[in-house]
Structure 1
Amino acid sequence: MKRFMMVLLFVVVLAGAGYAAYAMGYLPAELTSVIAAPAEQDTKAEAEVAPVEEVLPRVLADAKVVPVLRSDLAMAASGLVQEVMVKEGDRVEAGDLLVKLDDAQQRVAVAQAQANLARAQANLDKIKAGARVENIAVAQAAVEAAQANYDKLVNAAAPGNVASAQAAVSKAQAEYSRVVQGPSEETIISARANLESAKAQLDQARSAYNRIRDLSDAGMRPESLAMQQATIAYEAAQARYDDVMNGATAADIASAGASVRQAQVQLETVQNSMPSDMAVAEASVNQAKAQLDELMAGARSEDIAAAEADVAAATAALQQALVGLRNTELRAPFTGVVATLNAAVGEQVSPGAPVAQLADVTAWEIETSDLTELDVVGVTEGAKVELTFDALPDLTLGGTVSRIRPIGQDNRGDTVYTVVVVPGSQDNRLLWNMTAVVDFGVK
């Protein structure tokens, strides 16, 4: 556009100079006579004078060369620059690390989030797995103990139990006497027989358990419980036999004495048994059964849902921590050349503030800078144009209007629009922001 205005100004100045020369008499006489007496010219000669062609104005616009793909790059987080991996002019590939901030805090946050997720997942797995076999066995034993205590109180309240308790005291006293005096031959034979019987039962239970021990639910099967009970019975028979063979010890004598005292206490309990004691015992039985039922039923759906929600929340927290860690890195979004770099190690950067400019310098386009509203109305997308370059006078390229930006800008009182032109071919001598002229043709 500037070139067009210069040409027009030159034409106006030249016309003014010619008129001044004519008015002051500087033109040759022949030319003056022709100008002064045009009516005397022969009509035939007039017919032979070639007509003057009208010169129509052309639409020219100043422009600049810019990369088709370019971007101002900024950090997504604030922090101190720890590493700068590139310098201006370096060519980088998409995904290459350009600038890295100090990420110590972000790494700690990621580690904490990972630990919280692992804890939440373990809790969910535990709830879904249900109660362990050991916990169920303990609950069953608690039920049995509570039931036994309740039965004892009920039986104690029955008629005739006082006499039975008295008999138990007599028996304990007789046992105490026997322990003090030592085992009889019959006692030794009985202990040996009990031990052999318990051994046979243990072998039978072990054989049955070995057949199912590799099953996933082996601990829940009756063979497992039978194995445990047979083991306990055998160990008790072995201990009894050892006690008999070793004779009474001070501990045995003390135990026999304790049995006497226990029998006496039982006698007193029978004699003093009250309905309130049985009510308490019954409540204990019900509580133990409820705890066992809860274990056997497995996890409630509400507990599983709550645990799954904890896992989801921990997963989201981990994702957020990972995003925070990624935000400490600035990577190239596409392959190109680092045009500008405004980051140095140790500097504090703010999110959103450009620290680098990246461009693909293998493909250029031309952007006009002074095309006015009077001229842009005649420009259409897809129109063919001619491009020339101030720095490359030997280079003329064809081009096509790619797009017209719809918003105009003020340029010294004129409203100008940016028209983007794609050259028909590229030239490796072109550089960013080189000046160009776009010839849109006749108005």
Structure 2
Amino acid sequence: MNRIINGLVIIPAMVLLSSCAVIGKSPEPTQTVSSATVVAPRTLTEARVIPVHNAALSFSVPGIVDEVLVTEGQSVKEGDVIARLKGIDRAKAAITQAEVLKLTAQKNLDDFRDKTNVSKAEAELVLAKAQIELKNARDARKSLDYQQVSGAALDGLRATYYMALSDFKEAEDDYEPYKDRGEKDIERAEYLAKLSNARLAKDKALYNLNKALEMPDPEKIAKADARLALAEAALNDAQSTYDKVKDGPDASQLSILEAAVTNADAQLKSAQSSLNDLELIAPFSGTVISNDLKIGEAVSPANTVMLGDVSAWQVETTDLVELDIVNIHPGDKAVVTFDAIPSLKISGVVNRIKQMGVASKGDTTYTVTIDLDESDPRLLWNMKAFVAFEK
């Protein structure tokens, strides 16, 4: 184990025995004891340098490396392709085919819905027209089932005729004394004109009465019956057509078309997933730290490419035991030194503490991550460091 000193104390020799520090104890404030200065206790542990963002990338499927686009030390942006396996062309062709299939399926579904909406509107219009025609046909046929005028109107026509007949007879009687006079006789002419007008009025009243008393023409009745039958048939047909479309698209046909779209979408996602399996893509911007992939080489998910954002560093402890970890909390300050760079000292803050310990050489160790307040171009991934936790 590489833990150096827990509770390091600096005091003069004369008080050495009276100022021993307790291992794992939380730091105490600096105080004066017998004129000696005591430094607050702290925990010192070994650690390693890691990027704040880092990942071990690997292909999710085995295959043969076809392209290596980024080598060790090169920078990448999020979404950049680092390497590809053979089979990209097939995968892209499968995506294109799946996209065409999805577009076709979606168009079929949209066309079906649009056609259904148009059919419903047309069916509503045809039904409305059929209802109007049936009403008109019924009214026309009903009008032929009785005399053309009502009883009151017929009584009025009769009364008009009888009055005209009475006026005519009265005019005849008035004319009778003058009928043998000469044609140029003024009085005869006056009574003759009166008689002529009375005759015209009588004849017209009789014509109107007789017309009102007439029954419908059998031919007209036959035509009206035929019109009514056609109107009823047209209405039934229009109603049947409307009933089929009034509730929207046919459920079974709609279900089939929707299933086709779902299936096409699944095929497209599967094709895209297959393409993704053949490409090693950077999940964030950073630098490729290690990349042993070679063109033509067979690889499996076990082959990894290390990616890290070296613009910001952290350190992870490697040997903190359970007696030490209880005195460390997120937010605690720390000072980090580096074995390979003795002159470098960087302050930091505890970011997180891994809750599960790991058995190591008879102890249980816990990992603590410390964010560094600054960076240094000399720092490298996995460089050895020492962390002093202070309150």
Structure 1-normalised TM-score? Answer: 0.48
What is the DSSP-based 3-state SS (H/G/I as helix, E as strand, rest coil) of the residue aligned with 1:107? helix
Partner SS for 1:362 = coil
- Residue-by-residue CA offset, 1:349-391 (whole Å, 9 max, x unaligned): 33x4343110000111111111221122111221122222222
Partner of 2:48: 64
1:376 equivalent in structure 2: 325
The answer on whether the counterparts of 1:72 and 1:354 sit within 8 Å (CA) in structure 2 is: no
Contact 1:379 1:440 (C-alpha < 8 Å) held by counterparts: yes
C-alpha distance in 1 between matches for 2:369 and 2:252: 62
Q: Which amino acid aligns with 2:339?
A: D
Distance between the aligned counterparts of 2:54 and 2:279, measured in 1? 19
* Contact 1:97–1:332 (CA under 8 A) maintained in structure 2: yes
1:302: how far off? 3.0
Partner of 1:42: none
Residue 88 of structure 1, aligned match among 56, 60, 72: 72
Q: CA deviation at 1:119?
A: 4.7
Aligned pairs for 1:140-159 (under 5 A) are: none
* Partners of 2:348 and 2:103 in 1: CA distance: 61
Distance (Å, rounded) in 2 between the aligned partners of 1:58 and 1:123: 73
Which of 422-431 and 105-114 deviates more?
A: 105-114
Alpha carbons 2:289, 2:308 under 8 Å: kept: yes
1:330-349 equivalences under 5 Å are 330-349=280-299
Identify the residue that residue 438 of structure 1 maps to in structure 2: 387
Q: Quote the Cα distance in structure 1 between the aligned partners of 2:47 and 2:277.
A: 37
Aligned residues: 243
Q: Is residue 2:348 matched to residue 1:399?
A: yes
CA-atom RMSD in angstroms: 3.6
Q: Which runs of 5+ in 2 are unaligned?
A: 17-33, 117-236
Q: Tell me which protein shows more helix as a share of its residues.
A: 1
Deviation at 1:113, TM superposition (A): 2.5
TM-score by length of 2: 0.54
**1:222 corresponds to which residue?**
none
Report the Cα distance in structure 2 between the residues aligned to 1:76 and 1:70, rounded to whole angstroms: 18
Q: Structure 2 CA distance, aligned partners of 1:65 and 1:121? A: 53
- Gap change, CA 1:311 and 1:370, over 3 Å in 2: closer
- Secondary structure at the aligned position of 2:364 is classed as strand
Q: What do residues 90-128 of structure 1 show as CA deviations (whole Å, max 9, x unaligned)? A: 111111111112223323432442443355356546656
Change beyond 3 A, Cα 1:301–1:99? same
Using the alignment, how far apart are the partners of 1:395 and 1:86 within structure 2? 32
User: Where do 1:47-126 residues align within 5 Å?
Assistant: 58-101=42-85, 102-121=87-106, 123-124=108-109
Structure 1: stretches of 5+ with no match in the other structure? 16-49, 131-289
Q: Would the aligned equivalents of 2:46 and 2:386 in 1 still touch at CA under 8 Å?
A: yes
- Cα contact 2:333–2:349 (8 A) shared by 1: yes
1:364 to 297, 301, 313: 313
Correspondences of 1:1-400 after superposition (within 5 Å): 2-4=3-5, 58-101=42-85, 102-121=87-106, 123-124=108-109, 127=112, 129=115, 300-350=250-300, 352-400=301-349
**Cα deviation code 1:235-277 (max 9, x no counterpart):** xxxxxxxxxxxxxxxxxxxxxxxxxxxxxxxxxxxxxxxxxxx
Cα pair 2:58 2:303 within 8 Å, conserved:
yes
**Secondary structure, counterpart of 2:78 in structure 1:** coil
Per the alignment, do residues 105 and 439 of structure 1 end up closer, same or farther by CA in structure 2, a change over 3 Å counting? same
Distance 1:385 1:304, change over 3 A: closer
Alignment check: 8 A CA contact 2:3 2:320 kept: no
Alignment partner of 1:439: what SS? strand
Identity among equivalent positions (%) equals 38
